[in-house]
Structure formats: structure tokens, C-alpha cells
């Protein structure tokens, strides 16, 4: 009798664990489809021109004119949007860069669910989803700390990702490297003028220091 009760308890425990796992998976899936109500940083051609000119000025003056250059959220958004557009591999829309302060930079954008699922272990399961679901856009947001990286004579601003969300679901920081192709991930390591010594994120602006 005792063995029978133990077996029942083990079976009940297994059922509870499986139920929790299934429930957690469903909760995460529904969270991915939810809209996190992120605002979009609007940009214009003028923002791209302004950002490019600032970087060109840094490259031209080099160490001869040390100081700080500031990029606004609109200018930073224009740069990242152009980088993603030139990569041309994924149909990103509503790309935005936010600078909340504390050394953080947030990049967000929307992708069709079918694109997100393609490179994940869930790709086979996508065949069971309605076509309307697969074409639905989901929000992708990553939070990162910028830093300058030196590779020989060249320098890059590298964005170290420490948080990532799909919709309203938080996922491990390494997930972007699983679902985004290498060409798209280029924006996480962008070339900068060799005179740049430091890049930091402040509230509302990206600070580029050169010639120190």
C-alpha cells in the first residue's frame, strides 16, 4: 500500500511539473505576441545627415581637436536604422534607439513572427501556426552598454547586450545571436574613427569622446 501511494505521489508530481512547464511555455509564447507599447523614435533624412557629418568631423580633425561630440536619440536611431537597412537581410520596421541614462542604450524594432522563429528550435512548430500569426509583427528590444573596442589600428563601438525581450517576454541575452543573421548583428559592432577614445550613453544622448 505504501509503495502504491508513493507511486501515486510520484505520478502526481510528474503531472504537476509537466503542467507547469507547458503553462510556462504558453505564457512565454503569449507574451511574445503581446505589444509592449513601445514608442517609436521618429527620424528624418536630416538626422542621418547630421549624424554622419558629426562622425566625419571627428575623423577629419582626429587628435588635433580633442573634445566630446553628442548624438541625439534621433541621430543614433538614424545611424542604426541605416546600418540595418544596408544589411538588408531582415525586414525590420519601427527601429528606434533610446538613451535612458545610466550607461544604457536600448534598440527596438519589429519583425514578422515567421522570421523570428526561422532560426530557433521552434522553427518546425511554426508549420502548425496560422499564416496570419506568422505574418504578425512582434517587438524585439535589446538593452546594451556601449564600449570602444580596438582591433589593430581600427576601432569599433561594441554594444554588449545584457537584456533582451520579444514582445513582453524576457529572454537570455544570447538569444539575438540565435535568431539574427550575422550581417544584421553588425550593428552591435560598428566601425568608428580611430581617434575615438570612448563612447558612453547618457540620458537622451550618446557621448563620443576623442583625442584624449
Residue with cell 506568422: 134
Is 79 a residue whose pLDDT tops 80?
yes
Query: What span, in angstroms and rounded, lies between the C-alpha atoms of 203 and 14?
Result: 49
Is 188 a residue whose pLDDT tops 80?
yes
Average pLDDT, the chain: 77
pLDDT of the residue at 25: 41
pLDDT per position as a tens digit, 112-123:
877 777 755 555
Residue 37, helix vs strand vs coil: coil
pLDDT of the residue at 201: 95
Query: What span, in angstroms and rounded, lies between the C-alpha atoms of 181 and 171?
Result: 18
The whole-angstrom distance between residue 34's C-alpha and the CA centroid of its chain comes to: 17
Burial group, residue 151, by CB count within 10 angstroms (0-12, 13-18, 19+): exposed
pLDDT of the residue at 63: 57
* Residue that wins the pLDDT comparison between 163 and 114: 163
Residue with cell 522563429: 117
pLDDT per position as a tens digit, 2-51:
445 555 444 434 443 333 333 334 444 556 767 777 778 989 999 999 99
What predicted TM-score, i.e. pTM, was given to this entire model? 0.76
Residue 129, helix vs strand vs coil: coil
The whole-angstrom distance between residue 46's C-alpha and the CA centroid of its chain comes to: 24
pLDDT band at 67 (very low <50, low <70, confident <90, very high): confident
Burial group, residue 52, by CB count within 10 angstroms (0-12, 13-18, 19+): middle
Amino acid at each position: 500500500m505504501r509503495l502504491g501511494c508513493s507511486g501515486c505521489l510520484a505520478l502526481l508530481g510528474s503531472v504537476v511539473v509537466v503542467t507547469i512547464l507547458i503553462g510556462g511555455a504558453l505564457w512565454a509564447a503569449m507574451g511574445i505576441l503581446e505589444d509592449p507599447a513601445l514608442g517609436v523614435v521618429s527620424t528624418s533624412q536630416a538626422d542621418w545627415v547630421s549624424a554622419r557629418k558629426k562622425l566625419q568631423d571627428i575623423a577629419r580633425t582626429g587628435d588635433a581637436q580633442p573634445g566630446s561630440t553628442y548624438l541625439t536619440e534621433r541621430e543614433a536611431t538614424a545611424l542604426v536604422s541605416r546600418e540595418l537597412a544596408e544589411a538588408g537581410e531582415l525586414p525590420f520596421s519601427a527601429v528606434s534607439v533610446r538613451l535612458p541614462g545610466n550607461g544604457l542604450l536600448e534598440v527596438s524594432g519589429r519583425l514578422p513572427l515567421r522570421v523570428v522563429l526561422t532560426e530557433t528550435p521552434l522553427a518546425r512548430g511554426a508549420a502548425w501556426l496560422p499564416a496570419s500569426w506568422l505574418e504578425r509583427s512582434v517587438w524585439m528590444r535589446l538593452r546594451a552598454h556601449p564600449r570602444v573596442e580596438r582591433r589593430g589600428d581600427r576601432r569599433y563601438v561594441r554594444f554588449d547586450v545584457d537584456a533582451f525581450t520579444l514582445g513582453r517576454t524576457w529572454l537570455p541575452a544570447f538569444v539575438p545571436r540565435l535568431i539574427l543573421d550575422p550581417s544584421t548583428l553588425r550593428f552591435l559592432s560598428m566601425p568608428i574613427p580611430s581617434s575615438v577614445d570612448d563612447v558612453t550613453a547618457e540620458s537622451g544622448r550618446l557621448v563620443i569622446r576623442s583625442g584624449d
